[in-house]
Amino acid sequence: MNIVNFKIFCDLVDSESFSQAARMNDITQSAVSQQLRSMEKHFNVLIVDRSQKQFRLTREGAKVLEFSRELLVRYETLVCDIQAMKKVLSGTIHVSTICSIGLHELPPYLKSFLLKFPSINVKVEYRRSNLVYEDILQRRADVGLVAFPTQVRGLDIIPFVEDELILIAGKNHPLAKQKSVGLEDIKSNPFIGFEQDIPTRQATDKFFKEHKLGITPVMEFDNVETVKRAVEIDAGIALVPAGAVEKDLGKTIARLNVEPKLCKNWIRPLAIVIRKNRTLTPAIDKFIKLLRNELTEEDEKNFNSEEY
C-alpha cells in the first residue's frame, strides 16, 4: 500500500465512477478495479457494496475513506512544509478556467509569474464553468478561475477582479453610429447570446427580465470568441465581457453607447476557486498572491527556483 492507492480510492468515491477515477489518474479502468481489490485484500474486508445498483461504501469502506482523506491531507501538508523549509519553488500548477478568462484576463498574470519563477510550470485547461468547480473538487486542477462565482460545498471562493459587460455590434452596424442606445434599440435588433448554463448568459437574462424586454437570442454559443465572430458579420448585437473584446474594438467591433441608467450594474465579478482546507504548496500560494496583486518582494526573495 502506498499514497497513490489511497488517492485513487478517494477519487473513485468522489466520482462514483471507475472510468472517471481512471481518467483522473491516467490509468486504465481495470487498474482502478485492481487497486480496489488489492485494498480489500490488504484489509481483508469488503470496501464497496457490489450488491447495490448505485455506488455505495460498506461500513468498513467508510472507515477506510475517512482515514484516506486524513492521510492525503497530512501528506499534502508534509510536501508543502518540506518545500517551504527548503525554500524551493518547483512543480506544475494545474489551472482550470473558462475560455474568456484564460484567453484575455490570465495571460499578463501568467507572463509575470513565469518571469519571476521560471522553474514552475503552469498548465492551463479551458473548461465550461460547471466543470471548473468539478475539476477543483476532484483534484484534477489546483486553481480554478470563474465568472459570477457561486458557493459550492468543499470549495473556497476568492475574489479576483471585476470585469465590465458591454453591448457590442459590428463596426458598421447602424447602432454604432448612434450617440445613445436605449431599450427599444436593444429590443428591435437580433441578439446573440451565450448558452443558457453559462453565468454571463444568466446575468444577461436577468437584465432582460428586469426591463421586461422578453428577448430570445437568435443564436447561442458556448464561448465569447464565437459570439464575437457572429457579431462581426452583423448577425446581431451581444452583451460580452469588456476584456474579451478590448483588442477588437474599433477594428471589427464597436462598443455601443448604452444609456447610463441601463448599464450601471453591468459588472462581471471573477473569482479564484481552490479546494477548502487544502494546504497550498509554496508555488500555488505565490501564484494566487500574484493573481490578487499581493505578491511582495519578500515573497520573491524567500524562495529560489531550483528543482530538488
Grid-cell match 450488491, residue found: 51
Predicted confidence (pLDDT) per residue in 179-231, tens digit = 999 988 998 999 999 999 999 999 888 888 888 888 889 999 999 999 999 99
Where along the chain do the CATH 1.10.10.10 domains lie? 3-85
**Above 90 in pLDDT, residue 81?**
no
Q: Which of 55-59, 142-146, 189-193, 275-279 has the lowest mean pLDDT?
A: 275-279
Arithmetic mean of pLDDT, 74-88: 73
- Residues ≥6 apart with Cβ < 8 Å to 294: none
Stretch (H or E) spanning 125: strand 121-126
**Above 70 in pLDDT, residue 144?**
yes
pTM assigned to the model: 0.76
**Three-class secondary structure of residue 109 per DSSP:** helix
The values of phi and psi at residue 157, to 5°, are -105, 120
Instruction: Give 179's strand partners.
Output: none
Compute the distance between CA of residue 229 and CA of residue 201 in angstroms, rounded to an integer.
17
Instruction: Give 194's strand partners.
Output: 221
Q: How many whole angstroms from its chain centre is CA 98? A: 6
Compute the distance between CA of residue 31 and CA of residue 12 in angstroms, rounded to an integer.
12
pLDDT band at 89 (very low <50, low <70, confident <90, very high): low
**Above 50 in pLDDT, residue 308?**
no
Given CATH 3.40.50.300, say whether it is the number of domain 3-85: no
What is 87-160+270-301's CATH number?
A: 3.40.190.10
Arithmetic mean of pLDDT, 17-35: 88
Position 51 scores a pLDDT of: 78
Compute the Cα dihedral for 305, 77, 113, 96 and give only its sign. Answer: positive
Arithmetic mean of pLDDT, 5-29: 87
Cβ atoms 235, 218 nearer than 8 A? yes
Compute the distance between CA of residue 307 and CA of residue 121 in angstroms, rounded to an integer.
12
Position 254 scores a pLDDT of: 95
Where along the chain do the CATH 3.40.190.10 domains lie? 87-160+270-301
C-alpha cell at 47: 470496501
- At the top level of CATH, the class of 162-268 is alpha beta
Arithmetic mean of pLDDT, 262-277: 89
Compute the distance between CA of residue 124 and CA of residue 99 in angstroms, rounded to an integer.
10
Arithmetic mean of pLDDT, 50-74: 87
Q: Which of 31-45, 144-158, 200-214, 222-236 has the lowest mean pLDDT?
A: 200-214
Position 299 scores a pLDDT of: 66
